[in-house]
Amino acid sequence: MLQLHFSPTKPLFSPPNLRIRAIDAAQLKSEHHRSSSPLKIAVLGFGNFGQFLSKTLIRHGHDLITHSHSDHSSAASSIGARFFHNPHDLCEQHPDVVLLSTSILSAESVLRSFPFQRLRRSTLFVDVLSVKEFPKTLFLNHLPEEFDILCTHPMFGPESGKHSWSDLPFVYDKVRIGEGERCDKFLKVFENEGCRMVEMSCEEHDKHSAGSQFVTHTMGRVLEKFGVESSPINTQGYETLLDLVDNTSSDSFELYYGLFMYNQNALEHLERLDMAFDSIKKDLFGRLHQLYRKQMFGGAEVHSVKKKIEQRLLNSAETTPLA
């Protein structure tokens, strides 16, 4: 049921030039036509990331139509896409694929108010959100049963994918695919761009990405708050931290909050980071405490540091037990 949802008794909603005459002939003809004929792709949420993906989809010959709450009509026309202010108008265009490229936080409300009934009964829904279990559940709960579902995460953006998508990971889960060629043709765009195609369940994705993507964003944001600055004597390691902050701060807080809130594993990782940081502090202060008690520091050189740290130890002792 999950893999093949349409049966011979259901009508096949293929474009007019692909009307079936006889099964075998039609299959051959269909394969030939589909690999050369473009997809009509509707992009919902046409922000930074949606526009970034659309450019490449258009370059691969596909027909792009878009809709957003904000007016992105000029951005659309500048890359050769059509913009629809009214989602009903968009649906009446009968796209083959609807690509959900909203923020994680607004995905549910966009989907709840979307006029599915105007679409063809078999349409492929794809999302590109940075969490995967959440949109999968959302699609399964809200989409009509006849719709196909492909959950994807292109793990790059306008910065990291500026020059090339070669070797950048593209994660996908064929959650419910009946009409396989339409889905394959969509995936082909990323394959042909050289992405590292990783087929993985939404659950597995979220486990991995909480440990990597969420932790990376957290470190970048901590360093941004800390206020890292370039100095005349940057080490190579420090240069990589500066790059990290640059990359993180170009993403919105909305995205970061989405990664935290809509990935069940993020909270646990935040807590583990917290514990790791505490543990480092305890290593430093604990070691010092030991030495200090043994009166090993007699020299005048470290006197002022000693004083500061002594104060710190007294403060810490009130809240945290020392190792």
Site for its own copies in 123-162 (CB under 8 A): 134, 137-138, 141, 153, 155-156, 160
Neighbours of 266 (CB within 10 A): 24
CB atoms within 10 A of CB 305: 11
CA distances from 167 to 75, 170, 212, 273 (A): 28, 9, 17, 29
Q: Which of 302, 310, 317, 322 binds its own copies (CB under 8 A)?
A: 302
Is 111 in contact with 85 (CB distance < 8 Å)? Answer: no
Residues that contact its own copies, how many (by CB under 8 A): 78
Residue with tokens 């049921």: 1
Asked whether the beta carbons of 99 and 53 are under 8 A apart, the reply is yes
**Site membership for its own copies, residue 16 (CB under 8 A):** no
Q: Which residue, 24 or 301, has its beta carbon nearer to its own copies?
A: 301
Q: Which of 169, 174, 188, 193 binds its own copies (CB under 8 A)?
A: 169
For its own copies, the closer of residues 157 and 178 by Cβ is 157
- Inter-residue contact 122 to 13 (CB < 8 Å): yes
For 32-87, where are the E strands, in sequence order? 40-44, 63-67, 82-83
Q: Which residues pair with 97 in a beta bridge?
A: 41, 124
Contact region for its own copies (CB under 8 A) — 22-30, 33-41, 114-122, 266-274?
A: 266-274
Q: Which is nearer to its own copies, 267 or 317 (CB)?
A: 267
Tell me: does residue 93 bind its own copies (CB under 8 A): no
Give the one residue of 15, 164, 272, 322 binding its own copies; rule: CB under 8 A: 272
Site residues (CB under 8 A) for its own copies, limited to 189-248? 198, 200, 205, 208-209, 211-213, 215-223, 225-229, 231-238, 240-241, 243-244, 247-248
Instruction: Say whether 58 sits in a helix, a strand or coil.
Output: helix
Residue 308 within binding range of its own copies, rule CB under 8 A:
yes
| 287 interacts with its own copies by CB under 8 A | yes
Q: Which two three-digit tokens encode residue 308? A: 């500061």
**CA-CA distance, 107 to 102, in Å (whole number)?**
6
- Taking CB under 8 A as the criterion, which residues in 102-121 touch its own copies? 108
> Is 32 a residue that touches its own copies (CB under 8 A)?
no
| Nearest approach, Cβ of residue 271 and its own copies (Å) | 8
One of 127, 147, 288, 289 touching its own copies (CB under 8 A) = 288
What are the tokens at 255?
A: 């995205």
Determine, following the binding rule CB under 8 A, whether residue 299 of this chain makes contact with its own copies. Answer: yes
Evaluate whether 76 touches 83 at the Cβ level (below 8 Å).
Answer: yes
